[in-house]
Every structure is written in structure tokens, then in C-alpha cells.
């Protein structure tokens, strides 16, 4: 293997340093100590479904089109897929230059591209995703015993002890490593990319419980060691999509502020705010989960809410009576969504539609289905909103946001209309943002450990210059790896070739085909014939 890229979701130097001191990650520690290592600045927003596509395309979300877990069509929403990523991937560019690839568990890669090599989609795709080549997932399961994208339990299921959940975490990590090693042996790719997701999820699900973090990283490091031994790559990169750390300050509910400021209206009923929780459960069960629609029970809850009988009130009463389990049974997530106060998107001037987008969207006439802000008034409304949001202070008197700015300061490209209109970056990423409308602006943080701006990048091996490396950005990963493989970077890319490798020039690649996707198959059939997958 010429180049191996190991993706560690939410990896960061402070976490690596602590784990190294505890001798939990000997393989990663050796790479860090022997190679070139630096902080990797993530993008805005620094969240998995947008950041990984930015890394593997080398362009900002305005050029690839994905800003969060959900994509939007007017006020409706759907789970993003690889079809929402409208830019060349690193593996398809390599395919154009006759380099093969094996890609395992990389988020937002469902449905897979057709390349010389193999792709097993990861996070945000469904369980049992279509893979490339067809039938390869069954072959992997036969070879290693089993392969799943998601855990075999539902997050939040208190009936399963933590020890069992951690066993499942380790099993999933083993599956990634063993599947990648098997495919690397079968396809002998020039480029390999394997991603480990549980290094992020453990912080979200278990609030940064350090013993559990150690368990996850220990197994991840074990699999990395096995991959390095089996594949013997000439050059190794390790990169993360963002960092991870504690949120020390209270959660800020953006839509509550916007409602009081006169920008937002609320209602009861309808589909409710986008939520990853419902979509995640659908994906775990193998459903495509393109979108979520309220069913009969949810619609009934919405009707009852209009006469004051909200699911929140029902749930509170049940819990006060010591019937929390009954509350979960009779007030499931979908019912809560439709039975409580929600943003009335068509009637609002501005709103936060999804917290992971890190921003506020203006309801613009001619762009949004029921836009209320005219094109002539747009700039003045945006300037007023920026000023209002920038003035928000936390209970300690400090500003909630370190940056409130027009989105064009962060995004450019053909898909900027999918972006928020105003970017809101929490002060030092210490305030968790919520999109739910409530009576109070601040509350205890929902997730005390969450994403930070600085991830990690390290490189070691043939052609890697061991000199100092500073200022690396997420967008730089793809052009740098292309250069390490002797392939020109694209002139459409926002990233640069980092000085640790020798540049291989710049090329103008064909425009991405938004109708057919990025499927390059000039050499695929002959390669598959060689391996016996087609006749």
C-alpha cells in the first residue's frame, strides 16, 4: 500500500497525550513520536456529516453541499447521504489516475462510488448498506464472522449494562479493522482509508467517562497496529474531522432568544424539528431513513397539544409518580416532537433549524417556500440579526458567541443557498447550542463533552518531510494525500498541499456530474474480472 489514511473521529492532541501517558495507545504514540504531528483546524460546522466530506473532497461545504446530518428542501428535511455530496472524492480522483482504493467505514459514503477497489459505507448510511463491488459485504461477513455499521442496541436503552455496551463498541471497532485488512489483502490497493467512529461516540453516549474512553482507544489502537503490520504502508496519515472536549458553560437555546426578539413564531403539530435520534434508530434497523413523517399517534399528540394536553406535561407527571419507564413507553421521541411547541418555519423571519449547522437561517421570499423577508430587506434584517446575536451574554456576563458573521465569510460555491445565513460560533466552544424553543435561554448542558475546533493530523513514511508543520486545515488533507501519491491536486480545492510532501502540480478536473454522481469505472470491470467478481 502506497498511502494509508486512518480516520479517528474526534481525535485530538490533548486526548492523545493523556492516553499516551497512560500507555493506552502504543501504536498511535509511536506514530506521533516518530512522525510529523500537528493540530488540524476543522471547518465550521465541525460536525461529522459535513466535516468528513470536506476532508475527503478538499472543498468547503459551499462546494460539496452538506452542512449537517440533515439536508433541506424548503422546510422539510431528510438524512444526508453520499448523493448529497456534490464534489469529487479523493478515491474517485485517484481512480482517474489509475490508482486503486479500499475505503471502509467512512461517513457519508452511501451509496458507494464505482471505483477500482472496494467501498464499505459507514456512519449515516443504513445497516446492510449497498457496497462496492456488489456482494462484497456478504464476503466480508463470511471471512471475519460478522460486520455491522451500528450497535446491536438502541442508544439510551438502560436495560443493557454499560459493560455489555462497551463489549459491543469493541466488537464494532474490531469489525472495521478486520474488514479493512481483509479487503486490503484481496484488492492490494494503492490507497487505503479506514475510519473509526466510536472514538467520538463514546464521549457523547457516556459523557466522557474516561475508563470507557480508554477502552475504546485501546481497541482502536490494537486494530491500527494490526492494520500497519498487515498492510505495511509506505506512508501513513492519521487525521480527525474535529476535536473533543468539555463544555463548561450552560446550553444556549437560540430559538428561545429569537422568539423573544420577535424573529420567530411557534406552533404545535407537524413534523417538528430535525432530530438525529429518530433517524439514527431507523438507520440502525436497516431502513433508508430518507425522511421522518409523523404517524397516527404523533398526529394525535399534536391535536391534543393544541388543547393544552402536551406530551411534555404527560411525561413530567408520569416521572413525578415514579413511572419513568411508563413515560418512555407512552411518550416516545416521535410523540414528543409533534406534541410540544415547535418552530413555525413558514411564519418566522429567522430560526435555527438544526443545532449542528451552527447558524441561523432567514426565511427569504423567493428562496424559501413561504419566505417573509423580501430580497430588498434581506441585508438589513441580516445585519440587525448579527448585531442582536452578538450582544447575547451568558449568566457569567461573557458573550455567548465568539463570532457572529455572514455565512459568505465561511462558504463559497454553488451550494451556498443550502447554508445558514448567519454563522454563530460559541465562545471557545463552551456553550452547547440548542434549536428547541423553550421559555428559558440557558439550561444545564445536554452533552457535557462535545466537539471542539482543533483535531489532529500526523504523517510518517516515504516522502514525508519531517520539518515543522503549522496551520494545517481540514481542507488540506486531500490535496496533500494526492501529492503523496504523485497525483495533481484540483484547482477547485480550497485546501493546499502541506509542505511535508512534494507537490505534484494542479489539474483542472471535469465538473462533478450532479446527475449521475462521481462514478469512474474505466478500469473497474477488468479489475473485478481479475478477482473473480464478474465474468
- What distance in Å separates the CA atoms of residue 212 and residue 372, rounded to the nearest whole number? 49
pLDDT value of position 338: 41
pLDDT value of position 103: 98
Tens place of pLDDT for every residue, the chain, 535 residues?
999 999 999 999 999 999 999 999 999 999 999 999 999 999 999 999 999 999 999 999 999 999 998 888 888 888 889 999 999 999 999 999 999 999 999 999 999 999 999 999 999 888 999 999 999 999 999 999 999 999 998 887 888 999 999 999 999 999 999 999 999 999 999 999 999 999 999 999 999 999 999 999 999 999 999 999 999 999 999 999 999 999 999 999 999 999 999 999 988 765 555 555 555 565 665 555 555 555 554 455 555 445 444 444 545 554 555 544 544 444 444 434 444 678 899 999 999 998 999 999 999 999 999 999 999 999 999 999 999 999 999 999 999 999 999 999 999 999 999 999 999 999 999 999 998 888 889 999 888 999 999 999 999 999 998 777 889 999 999 999 999 999 999 999 999 999 999 999 999 999 998 654 444 333 323 322 333 322 2
Q: What is the pTM of this model?
A: 0.86
Contact 108, 80 (CB under 8 A): yes
Q: Judging by DSSP bridges, how do beta strands 266-268 and 341-343 pair with one another?
A: antiparallel
- Cell numbers at 486, concatenated: 504523485
Q: Classify 3-246+450-531 by CATH class.
A: alpha beta
Q: How many CB atoms lie within 10 A of CB 495?
A: 23
- What distance in Å separates the CA atoms of residue 197 and residue 216, rounded to the nearest whole number? 10
pLDDT value of position 329: 45
H-helix or E-strand spanning residue 514: none
Q: What is the tens place of the pLDDT at every residue in 446-500? A: 889 999 999 999 999 999 987 778 899 999 999 999 999 999 999 999 999 999 9
Peptide bond preceding 133 in cis form (omega within 30 of 0):
yes
Closest alpha carbon to 440 in 252, 272, 247, 248: 252
User: What percentage of residues in the chain have a pLDDT greater than 90?
Assistant: 73
- How much helix, strand and coil, in percent to the nearest 5, is found in the chain? 40, 20, 45
Q: What is the tens place of the pLDDT at every residue in 115-137? A: 999 999 999 888 999 999 999 99
Closest alpha carbon to 47 in 136, 155, 124: 124
Count CA atoms closer than 13 A to 119's CA, side-chain side: 28
In CATH, what number does 248-265+344-446 get?
A: 3.30.1360
Q: Name the residue ranges covered by the structural domains of the chain.
A: 3-246+450-531, 248-265+344-446, 275-343
Closest alpha carbon to 387 in 369, 371, 399, 372: 399
Helix boundaries (H) for 152-244: 162-187, 198-206, 210-231
Q: How many CB atoms lie within 10 A of CB 306?
A: 12
Amino acid at each position: 500500500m502506497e498511502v494509508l489514511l486512518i480516520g479517528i473521529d474526534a481525535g485530538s492532541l490533548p486526548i492523545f497525550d493523556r492516553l499516551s501517558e497512560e500507555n493506552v495507545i502504543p501504536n498511535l504514540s509511536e506514530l506521533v513520536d516518530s512522525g510529523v504531528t500537528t493540530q488540524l483546524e476543522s471547518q465550521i460546522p465541525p460536525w461529522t456529516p459535513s466535516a468528513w466530506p470536506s476532508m475527503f473532497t478538499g472543498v468547503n461545504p459551499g462546494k460539496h453541499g452538506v452542512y449537517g446530518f440533515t439536508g433541506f428542501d424548503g422546510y422539510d428535511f431528510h438524512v444526508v447521504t453520499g448523493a448529497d455530496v456534490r464534489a469529487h472524492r479523493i478515491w474517485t480522483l485517484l481512480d482517474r489516475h489509475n490508482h486503486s482504493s479500499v475505503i471502509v467505514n467512512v461517513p457519508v459514503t452511501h451509496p458507494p462510488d464505482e471505483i477500482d477497489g472496494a467501498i464499505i459505507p459507514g456512519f449515516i448510511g443504513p445497516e446492510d448498506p449497498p457496497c462496492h463491488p456488489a456482494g462484497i459485504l456478504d464476503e466480508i461477513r463470511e471471512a471475519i464472522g460478522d460486520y455491522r455499521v451500528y450497535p446491536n442496541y438502541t442508544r439510551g436503552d438502560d436495560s443493557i449494562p454499560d459493560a455489555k455496551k462497551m463489549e459491543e463498541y469493541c466488537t464494532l471497532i474490531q469489525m472495521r479493522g478486520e474488514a479493512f485488512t481483509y479487503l486490503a489483502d484481496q484488492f492490494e490497493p494503492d490507497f487505503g482509508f479506514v475510519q473509526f467512529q466510536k472514538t467520538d461516540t463514546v464521549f457523547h453516549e457516556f459523557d466522557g467517562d474516561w475508563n470507557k474512553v480508554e477502552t475504546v482507544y485501546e481497541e482502536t489502537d490494537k486494530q491500527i497496529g494490526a492494520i500497519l503490520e498487515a498492510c505495511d504502508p509506505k506512508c501513513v496519515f492519521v487525521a480527525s474531522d474535529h476535536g473533543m472536549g468539555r463544555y463548561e458553560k450552560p446550553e444556549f437555546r437560540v430559538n428561545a432568544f429569537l422568539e423573544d426578539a420577535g424573529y420567530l413564531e411557534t406552533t404545535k403539530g407537524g413534523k417538528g424539528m430535525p432530530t438525529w435520534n429518530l433517524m439514527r434508530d431507523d438507520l440502525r434497523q436497516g431502513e433508508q431513513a430518507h425522511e421522518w413523517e409523523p404517524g397516527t399517534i404523533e398526529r394525535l399528540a399534536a391535536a391534543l397539544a393544541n388543547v393544552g394536553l402536551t406530551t411534555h406535561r404527560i411525561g413530567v407527571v408520569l416521572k413525578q409518580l415514579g413511572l419513568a419507564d411508563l413515560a418512555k413507553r407512552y411518550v416516545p421521541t416521535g410523540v414528543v416532537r409533534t406534541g410540544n411547541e415547535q418552530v413555525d418555519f413558514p411564519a418566522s423571519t429567522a430560526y435555527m433549524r438544526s443545532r449542528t449547522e451552527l447558524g441561523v437561517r432567514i426565511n427569504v421570499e423567493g428562496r424559501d417556500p413561504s419566505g417573509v423577508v423580501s430580497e430588498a430587506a434581506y441585508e438589513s434584517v441580516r445585519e440587525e440579526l448579527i448585531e442582536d446575536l452578538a450582544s447575547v451574554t451568558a449568566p457569567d456576563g461573557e458573550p455567548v458567541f465568539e463570532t457572529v458573521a455572514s455565512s459568505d465569510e465561511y462558504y463559497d460555491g454553488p451550494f451556498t443557498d443550502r447554508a445558514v445565513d448567519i454563522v454563530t460560533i460559541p465562545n471557545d466552544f463552551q456553550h452547547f447550542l440548542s434549536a428547541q424553543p423553550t421559555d428559558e435561554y440557558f439550561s444545564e448542558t445536554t452533552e457535557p463533552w462535545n466537539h471542539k475546533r482543533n483535531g489532529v493530523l500526523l504523517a510518517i513514511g516515504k516522502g514525508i518531510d519531517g520539518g515543522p508543520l503549522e496551520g494545517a486545515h481540514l481542507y488540506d488533507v486531500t490535496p496533500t494525500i494526492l501529492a503523496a501519491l504523485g497525483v495533481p491536486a484540483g484547482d477547485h480545492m480550497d485546501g493546499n498541499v502541506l509542505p511535508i510532501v512534494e507537490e505534484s502540480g494542479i489539474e483542472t478536473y471535469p465538473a462533478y456530474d450532479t446527475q449521475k454522481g462521481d462514478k469512474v469505472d474505466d478500469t473497474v470491470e477488468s479489475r473485478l474480472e481479475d478477482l473473480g467478481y464478474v465474468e
